Structure 1
Amino acid sequence: MTISWYPGHMHKARKELQKLMSSVHVTIEVLDARTPYASSNPVLTAIRGDTPCIKILNKSDLAIAEVTAAWQHYFNQQERVICLRNGLEEPLSLDRVLTAAGRLLQTSEKSQTGAKQLVIAGIPNVGKSTLLNQFAQRKLAKTGNEPAITRSQQRIKLADGWYLIDTPGLLWPRLEDQQAAARLACTGTIRNTAVAAADIAWFAAELLLKDYRAALETRYGIDSGIVNPEELLDFIGKKRGSLGRGGAPDLQKTAELLLNDFRSGKLGRFSLESPPG
């Protein structure tokens, strides 16, 4: 299984973001709290250069709190970076973001007078548009569970003297780390048409059996005899009635069921990566 997804609109979005950066005071990078490493875009890091950055660990209610706190500490050690968390249990307010932006501006060489411009960026389906609507307390951007909903930039007034530019979800042309790419696919960042659900469900099943077996026991009632992905998917298919012709488990339906449970939090909270060190 090789994962690759870089449609034409992402190349265009990358060029537009490069042009924009000279007028940006602070960058907001939205990361998935379950995969902070895999969801960090090296292209964005290169484009923003020395521009101060707020990193938001989004969907923190789906990740393990202690691991998310460790990631927050890790990012806060970086120069010109402030890391915040956002989730259903602790929604991030616009005031906290603007306070962080104000602190970062004190380290910037850009003009401190006049309107301040922020740009919000991140990989597809990481929750940028939902976060933007949360800040504005009204619907400004389309949201959905399918990656690449936002296709063009939009500029929004947040408060007096503060503006925010929303940008399309952006990946990078070559996903060299295929294990990281698989973790992204597990969380729904890679469009479903770019990778087979059965392949990603197999990867997720391996991971869950290894690190989160108790969650499988609670959700599906698996027993100690289930030791590999094939057995797990077969068991879930029969248990949940995801059957095809002849009563055999339908792999596609079962794969989608497992992935939906994984992504929505029905299986519990998962952190797929830990910070270095």
Structure 2
Amino acid sequence: MVKPFSKSKRTPVRLRHKIEKAGSAKKRKERKLAKQNPQWRSRLKKDPGIPNLFPFKDKILEEIEEKKRKKAEDAQRLRDAAKSKKSAGKNAEVEGEDADEDMQDDQGDLSDEDMEDDEEDAADSSNLMAALLASAQVRAADYGSKGDLADDDDGDGIDGGVQVSSNLSADNRNPDSSRKAFDKVFKQVLDAADVILYVLDARDPEGTRSREVERQVMAAQSGEKRLILVLNKIDLVPVEVLAGWLKHLKRYFPTTPLRASTPASNAQTFDHKQYTIKNTSETLLRSLKSYAASKQLNRSISVGVIGYPNVGKSSVINALTSRLNKGVQSSACPVGSEAGVTTALREVKIDSKLKILDSPGIVFPAAVNDENQEGKQKRRSEHEARLILLNALPPAQISDPGPAIKLLLERMSASPALYDKLLQHYGIVALGPFGRGDTTTDFLVQVARKRGRLGKGGVPNLNAAAMTVITDWRDGRIQGWVEPPVLKIADDAEMANGATTEVGPSADQKIIVKEWAEEFKLDGLWDGTNNE
């Protein structure tokens, strides 16, 4: 029973809130005073250690010291094991080099320059791979002399990519560095391969093609090497342009189109019906396997893949290996949208009769004969701009993207349709040399404003805008290609005078092309009319 006139213990809400505010204010004041206190102490309390009066203090300290001593001994034992393994690897490497030199002396086929390159490669590697490679070469030479099979595995399968050389870093802008890389990488591939797949970019086949490479392949081993031109990235060019380039290139070497990978996001592509990833890669793989079976050698056929950087060499190998995996995407070789992903020779085994050798991208150096220093600098700037449009330079090696944008606009202006598509892609109405600038500067200024490439104070960043355009060009978001050459036929007057204006391969070259196409069963395939 409640007593009459008793006072309730409930407090009003207003009073509770007042008490909470007062408490919060007091805590804030304490924290503020604590910060002003010069004798500030950390919240992390220091470990006081073991008290001296603890009866088992000596025993605990001995256990701690014993654990420290065992940990130090284990670390020292691991370091000694690593040193001994490294020294054993160096000794095995030296033995492998001696065996390799003996084999080269017996064969007498390698030149002095190749021997020097091999010695440099062996000196650079500091692991067991060099020794294993040298011993494998000795065993391969023994098998070749006895007539035994070089491959013990008779079943079909794909081995993962095996790196067979040290990393290669070359500055393709420098002709000297490019020449050294060309001499080193291309000669290794040419010596090891029986068939050369020369990968070209369908947007500019002649720009990614080197006649010096073709001459060296034709002259190697008295013409025993085979060369096939692979026209990659065909989905970035229209049907009539692709048919024209196939017709032109087939006059020199057997040529096959290939769509090795799916395009980048928002890329402007063309549908070629029968020119799919499955059909083109299966055709190329079937041709290589038929050639390997027709040779009936006691070893596997080696196929070397060469070409400019970022033309899709590794993607070609992945497309071929994915056919054996029933269309499952293959990762035998690492790929990327930028140039310079592949930095060393990599071997991928298809089966007991066929293996493919992936190589880093090489740029055949352009000759610079101008004695004037200003002329050399101008020639190198033009060479760098051409390499940028060929996607042959990684972004780290691009010093000035401006000349490349100027060259791109000049090429696009030759085709009004492509030029209008380029402006529409960036939402540009018109270009003109406004102020003291030129057309290229006005184009980059408008791209910077449209894409938000602005610096401090809203000033357009022309370098960032140029790199944006280069990235869009590399990924196929900007449509552009080189028209195939048209053969000029001589008129009746020139024929009467015995002169002709048609420049093409000789009769011997046409016979070689026909015979090679029959060996790979490429004769009559992809004539450019079966996809209409």
* Paired residue secondary structure (1:170): coil
**Out of 413, 416, 424, which is 1:218 matched to?**
424
- Asked if 1:96 corresponds to 2:269, the answer is no
**Out of 76, 79, 84, which is 2:257 matched to?**
84
Report 1:77-226 matches (<5 A).
Answer: 77-79=251-253, 81-86=254-259, 88=262, 90-91=276-277, 93-101=280-288, 111-114=295-298, 115-137=300-322, 138-174=330-366, 182-192=385-395, 193-211=397-415, 212-226=418-432
C-alpha contact 1:26 1:105 (8 A) present in aligned 2? no
How far is the alpha carbon of 1:9 from its aligned partner? 8.1
How many residues are matched? 270
CA distance change for structure 1 residues 142 and 104 in 2, over 3 Å: closer, same or farther? same
CA distance change for structure 1 residues 240 and 264 in 2, over 3 Å: closer, same or farther? same
Q: Identify the structure with the greater strand proportion.
A: 1
CA distance change for structure 1 residues 116 and 274 in 2, over 3 Å: closer, same or farther? same
C-alpha contact 1:33 1:58 (8 A) present in aligned 2? yes
CA distance change for structure 1 residues 69 and 175 in 2, over 3 Å: closer, same or farther? farther
C-alpha contact 1:244 1:250 (8 A) present in aligned 2? yes
C-alpha contact 1:71 1:274 (8 A) present in aligned 2? yes
Q: In structure 2, what is the Cα distance between the partners aligned to 1:206 and 1:77? A: 29
How far is the alpha carbon of 1:203 from its aligned partner? 2.0
Aligned-partner residue type, residue 189 of structure 1: A
How far is the alpha carbon of 1:125 from its aligned partner? 1.2
How far is the alpha carbon of 1:225 from its aligned partner? 4.8
Q: Which moved more, 1:241-250 or 1:86-95?
A: 86-95
Structure 2 gap segments, 5+ residues each: 1-171, 263-270, 323-329, 369-378, 434-438, 488-532
Aligned-partner residue type, residue 258 of structure 2: R
Q: In structure 2, what is the Cα distance between the partners aligned to 1:19 and 1:252? A: 38
C-alpha contact 1:38 1:181 (8 A) present in aligned 2? no
How far is the alpha carbon of 1:140 from its aligned partner? 1.6
Q: Which moved more, 1:6-15 or 1:58-67?
A: 6-15
Q: Identify the residue that residue 259 of structure 1 maps to in structure 2.
A: 470
C-alpha contact 2:389 2:470 (8 A) present in aligned 1? yes
Q: In structure 1, what is the Cα distance between the partners aligned to 2:317 and 2:256? A: 17
Higher relative contact order (CA 8 A, sep 6+): 1
Q: Identify the structure with the greater helix proportion.
A: 2
How far is the alpha carbon of 1:183 from its aligned partner? 3.8
Q: In structure 1, what is the Cα distance between the partners aligned to 2:318 and 2:340? A: 16
* Paired residue secondary structure (1:31): strand
CA distance change for structure 1 residues 7 and 98 in 2, over 3 Å: closer, same or farther? farther
Aligned-partner residue type, residue 126 of structure 1: V
CA distance change for structure 1 residues 132 and 175 in 2, over 3 Å: closer, same or farther? farther
- Asked if 1:69 corresponds to 2:243, the answer is yes
Q: Identify the residue that residue 207 of structure 2 maps to in structure 1.
A: 38
CA distance change for structure 1 residues 103 and 7 in 2, over 3 Å: closer, same or farther? farther
CA distance change for structure 1 residues 273 and 175 in 2, over 3 Å: closer, same or farther? farther
RMSD of aligned alpha carbons: 3.0
Structure 1 gap segments, 5+ residues each: none
Q: In structure 2, what is the Cα distance between the partners aligned to 1:202 and 1:55? A: 30
C-alpha contact 1:25 1:52 (8 A) present in aligned 2? yes
CA distance change for structure 1 residues 195 and 64 in 2, over 3 Å: closer, same or farther? farther
